[in-house]
Amino acid sequence: MLHNYQSLRSAQGPLRSLFGIFQAVVSKPTVDGIRDSRKQRRRLPSASTTDLPSCQKARQETPMTSSAVSGLVHVPASVGELVDKITILRIKAQRLASETKRANVARELAALEEEAAKLEDRERFVVEERELQRVNEELWDVEEHLRAHEARGDFGPTFIALARRVYITNDERARLKACINDRVGSLFREEKSYDESSR
């Protein structure tokens, strides 16, 4: 044991020398390189929005095909999801201030209403559809109030109550969509991560 300790002490001189060489050759250039790279990053100009591709410009330059409506995909969805989307579009059609936006909404709404009209058993969930419309209108109002509070920097009790109202209202929305899917025997169902029995 003593012999090992003495051997270690006798080796400390060479070890110190090696460590000094390591610092001189590796550590200093590495540290200097890191510092230089940080300085270069600070000097880099921020990306200008004019350098980014314009989605609106790309949309205008994309030619429309004559055989089909360009830029659309047809995917399977549950009836509850379709009805939920329709009720949201109805709200947007009524409440959006921009005429251009309302025209875009009207185009999408007409397409979805056309699909919904093909459902043979739509009368089976008339009540749920009406309730879903009401719930989505409430959710719209709550989110508008939340944005107004955030714009004022007001994050007090009212803001907290509104934030809680968002997930409570969304839970009711999910329940109504599930009820519609149950009534029509939809193959697809919306699943949540939380345990409903604990709520």
Lowest-confidence pick of 36-45, 81-90, 108-117, 169-178: 36-45
Most confident of 11-25, 40-54, 59-73, 129-143: 129-143
Higher per-residue pLDDT: 137 or 27: 137
Determine if the pTM surpasses 0.85: no
With CA atoms as reference, report the closest residue to 89 among 76, 71, 102. 102
Question: What is the structure's pLDDT at 139?
Answer: 96
- pLDDT tens-place string over residues 117-138: 998 888 889 999 999 999 999 9
Rounded average pLDDT over 149-173 = 95
pLDDT at 69 exceeding the cut of 70: no
Task: Tell me the angle at which helices 99-116 and 79-95 cross, rounded to the nearest 10 degrees.
Answer: 150
Please, where are the H alpha helices in the chain?
Answer: 2-22, 28-43, 55-61, 79-95, 99-116, 126-152, 157-184
Percent of the chain with pLDDT over 90: 50
Rounded average pLDDT over 145-153 = 96
Percent of the chain with pLDDT over 70: 62
Rounded average pLDDT over 101-122 = 93
pLDDT at 148 exceeding the cut of 90: yes
Domains of the chain, residue spans? 75-187
Rounded average pLDDT over 145-164 = 95
Judge contact between 90 and 134, C-beta under 8 A: no
Q: Taken in order 123, 124, 125, 126, is the CA torsion positive or negative?
A: positive
């399977």: which residue's tokens? 76
